Amino acid sequence: MSRLRPLLLPDVGLGALTRWCPPELVDRAIDKYERQERRRRLLPARTVVFFELARCLFPGEGYASVYEHLLPGDSELDLYLTKRGFRVPNKSSLCKARRRLGPEVMEEVFRQVAGAVADREGCPTAFWRGLRLEAFDGTVLDVADTADNAREFTRPAGGCGPGGYPQARVVALIECGTHAVVDAAVGGQGQGESTLAMALASSAGPNTLVLADRAMPGVALWTAFRQAEAHLLWRLKRTTGQRVETVLPDGSYLTSMDLDKNHQAGYRRRGEQPPGPVVMRVIEYTIEGSDEVYRLATSLLDPETAPAHELAVLYHERWESEGIYAEIKTAQRGSRAVLQSNHPDGVRQEIWAHLIVHHLTRDLMHHAATGARTPLDPDRISFRGAQRLVRQDLSPLISPL
């Protein structure tokens, strides 16, 4: 009796989200890192990519259950698959397939789909005086407590000793008006937010105004974003940028910031030229009911084209970057607080998958908001509701072989 060979499912997708992440895009990422199959497999690389993305949509379910979401609901096709000897892979097979794929393919898929999505007509709230509003910030994600993960990722320190779980650090650059992720960096042991943020500078680019919190400013990071021709609006610490060099008509003032001698020496030891001093405009203001003085630094030096009161109001758009982490950690991942992978490559694969699914959902929400008969602000659409509809719509595009 001849043995039935496994049936391949090369064209699985993510329902409505497949529009922005088609199989052809996934194949390009697979080809780039040469993860193509050398022999026929039950779990080809393309299927594994969509399986990993589906895990983000169904975080509380087991591997086999998630895989079944990628299967058709058509009874005739179900019968066809059964006759051809198709079977749902077990968890061990799915784990091995994820290891074969590695994190690089998932990161490349993210690079292919990520980016700003708003246009001035459809989503004017994403812009200010012709500049696209973007912001960046960081967060940490608890990962499985294994020896490999503990070596790769930082275990937080506490008053009673190290934290219970190692933590991966993520810094993302987002479009404020849509919450779409423009770029992201994932860090391991000893990589702080400012270090990871350096990798995002080139993605900001001309005609953008990038917002950031007071933990971020530094000469090297400021210089990197300005070299990418992005404008900046960053909050300052109380002790930074206090030297008044020129007072401007609106009460703001110009100052300069330079690297200290120790950092300059570090650049020279590495054979690098340290960045020179940067000129910035400082805006100070208070909020009614509070005595705290807020201090903002901006590269927009002309108070006529960039009024101080507008920038003070605009800065609070920075909290949009906090919003995407809440969406990923709470709405998308559900109650499962710890990433499941026992190995650093699997952790990175999970993180990139979550960033992809978040971006695809936000792209779908933007399309729905701006494509309505009466255009809506994307912020008025529920992220949790959008993902619920995506889960209900999840239906693969299967071409049986």
pLDDT reading at 71 higher than 80: no
Mean pLDDT of 22-50: 86
Helix 344-371 with 383-393: angle, nearest 10 deg: 100
Quote the mean pLDDT of the chain. Answer: 85
Residue 282 burial (CB count, 10 A): 22
pLDDT reading at 381 higher than 80: yes
Mean pLDDT of 361-388: 87
The shares of helix, strand and coil residues in the chain, as percent rounded to the nearest 5, are 45, 15, 40
- Checking DSSP bridges between strand 253-257 and strand 278-286, what pairing results, if any? antiparallel
pLDDT reported for residue 184: 97
Q: Which residue has better confidence, 333 or 396?
A: 333
Mean pLDDT of 4-31: 75
- From 10-19, 54-63, 98-107, 175-184, the region with the lowest mean pLDDT: 10-19
* Residue 210 CB partners (closer than 8 Å, separation 6+): 134, 135, 136, 173, 204, 225, 230, 231, 232, 233, 234
| pTM for the predicted model, two decimal places | 0.89
Q: Which residue has better confidence, 16 or 233?
A: 233
Q: Tokens 């892979």 appear where?
A: 89
pLDDT reading at 298 higher than 80: yes
pLDDT reading at 72 higher than 80: no
Helix 45-57 with 91-113: angle, nearest 10 deg: 90
pLDDT reported for residue 336: 65
Confidence label for 373 from pLDDT (cuts 50, 70 and 90): confident
pLDDT reading at 397 higher than 80: no
Q: Tokens 């983000």 appear where?
A: 56
pLDDT reported for residue 267: 72
293 vs 299: CA distance, rounded Å = 20
Mean pLDDT of 385-391: 89
Mean pLDDT of 38-55: 83
Backbone angles phi, psi at 185, to 5 degrees: -135, 140
pLDDT reported for residue 178: 93
Mean pLDDT of 248-265: 84
Identify residue 139 by its one-letter amino acid code: T
pLDDT reported for residue 8: 47
Mean pLDDT of 47-59: 92
Mean pLDDT of 43-66: 90
* Max CA distance (Å), the chain: 91
Identify residue 88 by its one-letter amino acid code: V
Mean pLDDT of 169-181: 95
- From 1-10, 40-49, 290-299, the region with the lowest mean pLDDT: 1-10
pLDDT reading at 73 higher than 70: no
Q: What percent of the chain has pLDDT above 70?
A: 87
The beta-strand segments (E) located in 163-220 are: 167-175, 181-187, 208-212
Measure Cα distances from 229 to 96, 207, 224, 295, 321 in Å.
44, 8, 9, 23, 21
pLDDT reported for residue 6: 44
Mean pLDDT of 328-336: 82
